[in-house]
Structure 1
Amino acid sequence: MKKNVYTVFLLLFINYSISAQSIKLEGLQENEYIGDVNLMPDSSLLALSVINDYNTVKRYIYQNDLWVEEENSLTQLINSLSNQHKHLLFSIDYKKLIVLITEGKENRAYLFSKLADDKWSLPTEILKNLRGEFKHSPPNISVDGLKFYTTAYGLSANELLIYDAQKETLEKSIKIDEFDRINQIFPLNKSAFIVGALKNKDKIDSYFYIQIEKDGSYTAPLYIPELVPDKPSDLFKISVSPFPGRIIVQNQESKQISMIEVNERIADQWFQKSTPRQEFSRLARQEAEANNYVSPKGQYHALLIGNNVYKDQSLNLEKPIEDVLKLKNILISKYTFEEENINTLTNASRSQILTALYELRLRLNQDDNLLIFYAGHGYWDSAVEQGYWWPVDVEKNNPSCWLSNSDLKEQIRAISTAHTLLISDACFSGGIFKTRGVEDLRDATTSIQLLYRMQSRRAISSGTLSTVPDKSVFFKYLSKYLEENDTKYLPSTELFTSIRKSVLNNSLTVPQDGVIMGAGDEGGDFIFISNK
């Protein structure tokens, strides 16, 4: 007897770190039905919502450990078509979208194309001569955008119909004798497909892997075991995702939405969508896949601030500038930071720090990553529950020349980056962090954090004391773990876990980390990428 598929999910999750994740959408009404669910390249979800036959497409983002609704221009565009029955099917590269609208007995299929700046074209109707043939299942588009794949009613229900995407004329019909009917077609490359179908003598629909040869012959359909239900009431609906081998599965009976990983053979075919002429070993595919999750389109930038010499000489320190220069060398020699993208401020005033932050607002974009590091004096004002940096022009009894958590938070919020990480080797705790516990993100596996690829705005502080030692134990272990790291990808949450344990064992300070409150964090993480 087959294992229940959700047991399979659990076993896969344990064995492969990221294979299955249950997805719960927030704010659903009691009478709300969820249809098609699609995972997008930015790791948001598009879900079809049905309330009393009124159909809308909603977008959900993963924020504060919850999937919450957030509209965007694509959902507005799709919903402008109709509020009637819909189905969505994305091309494997997520540059094309086909939306099927069912109004009465008539089906209409519309094609959207992705433009620059994450915008989408206005819809154009496709395959108009097949309006009645789609069976509430949209046609799909080939990897190269030159073909449409559809199915049909009646005696042709087990035929894969291949249309020229430009002329919209039938090129080829391939009858799959093993099937009674074909419901959905997901092209993985030019010849490999996942097919949702009812196989002869089966009582329930299943999903199969199949290859179509140039002469029109096909390989024997292979069950995809991760998608074989244990009982007829487990009616599954799937969508492919932008991440090779990951599939969104919806149990239409229990309404549970999950993400699973299919077997290596299918994942290898999937990956060829972007590199059809290359052969990849399993290791090479994993490496490239990891880059797909983690590597930004933009660059890594750093603002490093070290204050030694203060206007008030009683505050002078010896080590901060030395620490800043050491960190700069580590970032350039070991990680993907270019020297021209690192701004080093030594003995900086409040005005100089704010000016540098403002310049970053002008230079950086939403694909870039930013590391801000400060070494110098800090102060915690318990009366107002506010932390401050003390620039070199500080006056101890004049808060107007201090640099507060609030000032920094506002500047960070205004800098458009994919990920921003603030590391403060000074007192900095309190109002900068969200009130929830600092363990929140570390509960999830690193691979899940990478998969979501949500924006992050995080901070790490050396301690909660009103002063920190000139010879910083915190910096000793920060530099140590950055230098000794031998992994390709190092999330800031993993880095902090290592630092915290060592600092607690060797000093009286208690390092802190967490999300910067109100700065635009969406649950992601800053990833140090080794250049070795």
Structure 2
Amino acid sequence: MKNLILVILAFPLIVGAQSFVDKTNAIQVDYTKDVSATTLPVISWETPRIESSFSTEKSIMLRARVKSSVELEEVKLRITFGGKTVEKNIEIPPLQNSFNFEQKLNLREGSNIVEILAKNKKGGIVTSERSILHGEDDIISSIDANRKDYALVIATDEYDYWGDLNNPINDAKTIGSILEEKYGFEVDMMINPSVEELNDKVYDYNSKVYNPQDQLMIFVAGHGYFDETLEEGYVVASNSLKNDKGKTTYLSHNLLRVRLDNIKCEHILLVMDVCFGGTIDPRMARLRGNALEREDAQYLVKKLTKRTRKFLTSGSKEYVPDGTPGKHSPFAEKFILALREIGGGEGRILSTTELIPYFMRLPTEPRFGSFGTDEPNSDFVFVAK
């Protein structure tokens, strides 16, 4: 057994705001001392964000924050591979009980377990662990066993205060059926939801636990709105008020971006067939007025080991057509065609790269891009059964 190679870097304080998402997952308390929940240390991870992840890179940068309301006694980093553990004490900055640190870790083939332990002088001990699977063969062997695709499909035809639409529910049901039957998605359908139901549903997806290669697609069809004064786009819910200056009865694109980015699924695609959908990209909101050659498993490893936050909208900062009653909207029609034509036969995989050309001749200006913590060269893929 080869020795674990661990490259130790200095642990400087990192200045500036960062988005730490996952906190502690194990607590120990010395009951001989006065310990309360408010005095326990807190460990928050930036990378890896989720408890179990895959990486094809030879090394990763561990980034985390340790915080305590009382003086810290010790902080340790433990790396375990093949039953062997390497432990290092992390230097606690003087006069600071809250600090960020980062550490480069050279990965070995197989499972790499990383654990942080923080203990304060009141006897509270908190540990937080991350598992990183490295090696293409190991990752390939786990794809079919662990990977699952989810689709949250939201469609609104009927509105209390806005004009009703013809096709969103029909579009959504057709797309949901294809995703379920052809690509094996677990489809969650929301029909004519209120803004309260939308917020509750997004919260539920933030509470779910996902495997490293799981994917989540969110499809939204219905009315969209853009407020020129606030310079912000909105999803219109079934109970959104027309005269609502504060837009409290709408789901704002800013809030939607943040909450979707915080979902603990590594691969997310947001598809919006709504007016002004392109303003999900804040740069747009600020404005005034051939198939790939690949072997399926290797391609999936390449794409599904990178964090994905993509969006696809039916238009930019503009109104988009609903379509003829009883049919599909122009955007949904192209999306359905792409899902049906690609994926299956010799090519099981439909990537967003292959999806985009279907929308290029629409009279509107569909937009494709990334949001939040999207990684370079990432992609969302539809894998036919």
Which band: TM-score by shorter chain? 0.5 to 0.7
Question: Aligned pair in 2 of structure 1 residues 332, 449: CA closer, same or farther (>3 Å)?
Answer: closer
Q: Alpha-carbon deviation of 1:89?
A: 8.1
The answer for unaligned runs of 5 or more in structure 1 is 1-39, 47-58, 61-68, 98-115, 121-240, 245-273, 275-288, 436-441
Which of the two has higher C-alpha Rg?
1
Query: 1:522 aligned to 2:382?
Result: no
Question: Aligned pair in 2 of structure 1 residues 41, 310: CA closer, same or farther (>3 Å)?
Answer: closer
Indicate if the aligned counterparts of 1:294 and 1:527 stay in contact, CA closer than 8 A.
no
2:271 aligns with one of 404, 423, 429: 423
Q: Alpha-carbon deviation of 1:470?
A: 0.8
1:343 aligns with one of 188, 200, 209: 188
Question: Aligned pair in 2 of structure 1 residues 88, 119: CA closer, same or farther (>3 Å)?
Answer: closer
Q: Identity over aligned residues, as a percent?
A: 24
> Secondary structure of the residue that 2:230 maps to in structure 1?
coil
Query: 1:379 aligned to 2:225?
Result: yes
Query: 1:359 aligned to 2:211?
Result: no
Indicate if the aligned counterparts of 1:307 and 1:348 stay in contact, CA closer than 8 A.
yes
**Cα displacement string for residues 265-314 of structure 1 (whole angstroms, at most 9, x for unaligned residues):** xxxxxxxxx7xxxxxxxxxxxxxx8x55965824211111110011125x
What amino acid does structure 2 have at the position aligned with 1:372? I
Indicate if the aligned counterparts of 2:155 and 2:191 stay in contact, CA closer than 8 A.
yes
| Equivalent residue number for residue 312 of structure 2 | 460
What amino acid does structure 1 have at the position aligned with 2:221? A
| Equivalent residue number for residue 216 of structure 2 | 370
| Equivalent residue number for residue 88 of structure 2 | 80
1:510 aligns with one of 353, 359, 365: 365
| Equivalent residue number for residue 56 of structure 2 | 43
TM-score (norm 2): 0.60
Indicate if the aligned counterparts of 1:307 and 1:391 stay in contact, CA closer than 8 A.
yes
User: What CA RMSD, in Å, does the superposition of the two structures yield over aligned residues?
Assistant: 3.8
What amino acid does structure 1 have at the position aligned with 2:350? L
2:253 aligns with one of 402, 405, 416: 405
Question: Aligned pair in 2 of structure 1 residues 44, 331: CA closer, same or farther (>3 Å)?
Answer: same
The aligned length equals 269
| Cα distance in 2 between the residues matched to 1:500 and 1:455 | 25
Q: Alpha-carbon deviation of 1:351?
A: 0.8
| Equivalent residue number for residue 154 of structure 2 | 305
| Cα distance in 2 between the residues matched to 1:476 and 1:450 | 30
**Cα displacement string for residues 103-122 of structure 1 (whole angstroms, at most 9, x for unaligned residues):** xxxxxxxxxxxxx85179xx
What amino acid does structure 1 have at the position aligned with 2:302? L
Q: How does 1:164-243 map to 2 (within 5 A)?
A: 242-243=135-136
Choose 327-336 or 457-466, whichever is displaced more. 457-466
| Cα distance in 2 between the residues matched to 1:432 and 1:457 | 12
Query: 1:432 aligned to 2:277?
Result: no
TM-score (norm 1): 0.44
Q: Alpha-carbon deviation of 1:382?
A: 3.3
| Cα distance in 1 between the residues matched to 2:145 and 2:283 | 26
**Cα displacement string for residues 321-377 of structure 1 (whole angstroms, at most 9, x for unaligned residues):** 00111011101111021xxx3221111111111111111222332533211101001
| Cα distance in 1 between the residues matched to 2:158 and 2:321 | 16
**Cα displacement string for residues 437-469 of structure 1 (whole angstroms, at most 9, x for unaligned residues):** xxxxx99x9977851511111111110143211
What amino acid does structure 2 have at the position aligned with 1:328? G
RCO (CA 8 Å, sep 6+): is it higher in 1 or 2?
2
What amino acid does structure 2 have at the position aligned with 1:391? A
What amino acid does structure 1 have at the position aligned with 2:258? E
**Cα displacement string for residues 118-144 of structure 1 (whole angstroms, at most 9, x for unaligned residues):** 179xxxxxxxxxxxxxxxxxxxxxxxx
